[in-house]
Amino acid sequence: MVITLKQELIMNSFKTIDGRGANVHIAGGACITIQFVTNIIIHGLHIHGCKPTGNAMVRSSPSHYGWRTMADGDAISIFGSSHVWVDHCSLSNCADGLVDAVMGSTAITISNNYFTNHNEVMLLGHSDSYTRDKGMQVTIAFNHFGEGLIQRMPRCRHGSFHVVNNDYTHWIMYAIGGSSDPTINSQGNRYVAPRNPFAKESRDSLRRVEELELEVGGDLLLNGAFFIPSGAGAAASYARASSLGAKSSSMIGSITSTAGALLCRVGSKC
């Protein structure tokens, strides 16, 4: 099925959207908003072609229907929310981000997804001045960052981020960047450099190196991919940016082979 939303789908707490067993596309209109809620799972969806919507009356719960201003056109927008899991989705070609998490969001896992054909893939942290995002913790694991991507895989501010066992096969500007003292722990990833071989860089090369702490552990750098070292780092900081044990980067092909929405069928194992 192809679902074209006229306005944002605003989720309530303790809800799962599960596309397994069907070929579900949310495409060509508004997309998903996770705002001021907790305990959310989004699984097994194709999300693409999301557009800015709003300046309209939108239902946010069974009992509330009210005015919403413009949405940016993110595939999945996480705003002031916690305990969110985005797993086995295929995301591409939206007006703004594919997964953005801002305004104090935390306890987020983004796993087993397939990202393609997009500019600003993933923003984690609202702004350099919004210090409440210092408490943000995000795990990015087992994803395939594929063809047609340009930057922000992810772009981090303030918080603690574990980037582990992902496959990066395309970027034009950079893969991972940050500012305002994020702690990024990169472990067991595979980076296959395209034309511009920056695996990781600060958003602004003129920023002081202390503004981005980057720990590298066992990443596989191919075709001239390289890191721009930054930040002195501290054991306590990187412990906060560690959420699971990394597998060897030599296993990335098999680990990410099922990234994206699964071809599940009712009555068979998925």
What is the reported pLDDT for 6? Answer: 95
Share of the chain above pLDDT 90, in %: 67
Task: Identify the band that residue 233 occupies on the pLDDT scale cut at 50, 70 and 90.
Answer: low
- Output the pLDDT for position 206: 35
Tell me the β-bridge partners of 101.
Answer: 78, 124
DSSP string, 105-135: -EEEEEES-EEESEEE-EEESS-TT-GGGGG
Determine which of 33-37, 196-200, 207-211 has the lowest per-residue pLDDT on average: 207-211
Catalytic (active-site) positions = 152
Model confidence pTM above 0.85: yes
Question: In terms of DSSP bridges, do strands 56-61 and 183-187 run parallel, antiparallel, or are they unpaired?
Answer: unpaired
Tell me what the pLDDT averaged over the chain comes to.
89
Q: What is the pLDDT of residue 246?
A: 93
Check if the beta carbon of residue 186 is closer than 8 Å to that of residue 226: no
**Residue-range domains of the chain with CATH:** 2-255 (2.160.20.10)
Q: Is 50 exposed, middle or buried (0-12, 13-18, 19+ CB in 10 A)?
A: buried
- In this predicted structure, the answer to whether residue 3 has a pLDDT above a threshold of 90 is yes
Q: Residue 208 pLDDT more than 50?
A: no
Q: What is the pLDDT of residue 266?
A: 77
